[in-house]
């Protein structure tokens, strides 16, 4: 009992810091491992590479155990400074890039500014407190170092190997071109870049939003199979999605909608937000629907799909729809449509101006051209 009290008394601030950092690494490794073993990875950049994330999990698991054992204190301290310094740089990059989550803790979304602050605090703490010769770990006989290193390696292998296999063999379900889901997983990957020229594969899974009156006796699914449509797939908590929805609805209130003009359907992807399916803009001609929540659809919203008789004619993703500082080509396109009233009506509702974030000035140009075509 007295020996244990002596050992606790000999612990230094550095020992508390390294144990706390080890716990953070082990928790982060566990959460990322669970995500990679149960769901696909969103994004195709280097930092979102599945194999890089798997390697990160294994490193965090091993280094977390190593920090707990505090083998070779001086070298471990230097490695910890480099490790959390690199983590801080990655978190800062993601924060400046506008990422909603750092991805450090799997499905648990954490603002990258918070993780940058945590990583920076870890680096500062490590630079302030160093392992001393009087620390608890230094009292362990040198012959015990090899045994502890062996124990850490065995513990890492016993956990790391099964984790690596679970992450490597995961195969999500995929939505085929004919609308059939291939695979037994609950998560279904959407590949909209492959839809052009084919029948809209999500059509069987589109339903009406609650509190929305059907047009005649037809459901939204039946309506989308006929005529020309612009379908916006969105998440309720996506800021870019909400901006595009607002532009669509405002545009539909002012645009001339003729029999040849594409109609707009706003289709929410689960998990759903507000139960109300009504429009926030009075007089909006946009129809609202929902994608079935029987599956977890994996895609980066927003996605705009243009349909003609149920066939996909064009698809645009988040990169094409994100607001841009300037949209001079869009203004030029709107101006060029002035001599074609029929085409102008179509562009006034679903053209590039309203989708690519042209701003209020561009919207005003489109509205002005619409009024002009009506006057003619």
Highest mean predicted confidence (pLDDT) among 17-26, 211-220, 221-230, 239-248: 17-26
Q: State how far the Cα of 331 lies from the Cα of 319, in Å rounded to an integer.
A: 19
pLDDT 10s digits, 238-251: 888 888 888 888 87
CB 84 within 8 A of CB 67: no
Q: Could you tell me which residues are beta bridge partners of residue 36?
A: none
pLDDT given for residue 353 in this prediction: 35
CB 103 within 8 A of CB 31: no
pLDDT 10s digits, 113-136: 999 999 999 999 999 998 875 444
Residue ranges and CATH numbers for the domains of the chain are 2-169 (no CATH), 194-322 (3.40.30.10)
Confidence of residue 56 (pLDDT cuts 50, 70, 90): very high
55's tokens: 């390697």
Spatial CA neighbour of 35 closest among 188, 167, 158, 174? 167
Put simply, whether the predicted model's pTM sits higher than 0.75 gets the answer no
CB 369 within 8 A of CB 337: yes
pLDDT 10s digits, 267-322: 999 888 865 445 555 667 788 899 988 888 888 889 999 999 999 999 998 777 76
17 has pLDDT over 90: yes
Task: Please give the DSSP secondary-structure letter assigned to residue 271.
Answer: S
CB 230 within 8 A of CB 263: yes
């Amino acid at each position: 009992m007295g020996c244990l009290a002596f050992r606790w008394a000999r612990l230094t601030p550095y020992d508390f810091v390294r144990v706390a950092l080890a716990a953070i690494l082990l928790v982060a490794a566990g959460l990322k491992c669970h995500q990679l073993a149960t769901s696909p990875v969103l994004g195709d950049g280097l930092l979102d590479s599945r194999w890089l994330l798997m390697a990160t999990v294994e490193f965090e698991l091993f280094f977390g155990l190593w920090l707990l054992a505090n083998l070779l204190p001086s070298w471990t301290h230097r490695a910890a400074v480099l490790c959390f310094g690199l983590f801080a740089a990655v978190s800062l990059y993601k924060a400046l890039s506008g990422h909603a989550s750092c991805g450090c803790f799997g499905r648990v979304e954490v603002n990258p500014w918070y993780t940058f602050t945590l990583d920076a605090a870890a680096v500062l703490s490590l630079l302030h407190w160093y392992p001393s010769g009087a620390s608890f770990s230094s009292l362990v006989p040198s012959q015990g170092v090899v045994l502890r290193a062996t124990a850490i390696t065995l513990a890492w292998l016993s956990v790391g190997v099964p984790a690596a296999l679970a992450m490597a063999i995961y195969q999500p379900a995929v939505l085929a071109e004919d609308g059939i889901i291939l695979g037994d997983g609950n998560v279904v990957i959407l590949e909209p870049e492959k839809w052009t020229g084919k029948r809209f594969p999500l059509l069987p899974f589109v339903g009406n939003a609650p509190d929305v009156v059907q047009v005649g006796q037809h459901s939204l699914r039946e309506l989308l199979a006929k005529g020309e449509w612009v379908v916006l797939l969105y998440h309720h908590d996506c800021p870019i999605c909400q901006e595009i929805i607002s532009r669509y609805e405002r545009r539909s209130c002012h645009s001339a909608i003729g029999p040849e003009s594409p109609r707009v359907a706003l289709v929410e992807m689960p998990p759903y937000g507000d139960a109300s399916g009504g429009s926030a803009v009075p007089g909006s001609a946009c129809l609202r629907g929902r994608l079935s929540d029987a599956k977890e659809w994996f895609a980066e919203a927003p996605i705009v799909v243009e349909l003609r008789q149920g066939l996909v004619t064009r698809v645009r993703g988040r990169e094409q729809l994100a607001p841009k500082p300037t949209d001079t080509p869009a203004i030029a396109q709107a101006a060029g449509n002035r001599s074609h009233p029929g085409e102008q009506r179509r562009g006034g509702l679903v053209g590039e101006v309203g989708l690519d974030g042209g701003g209020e000035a561009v919207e005003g140009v489109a509205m002005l051209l619409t009024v002009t075509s009506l006057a003619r």
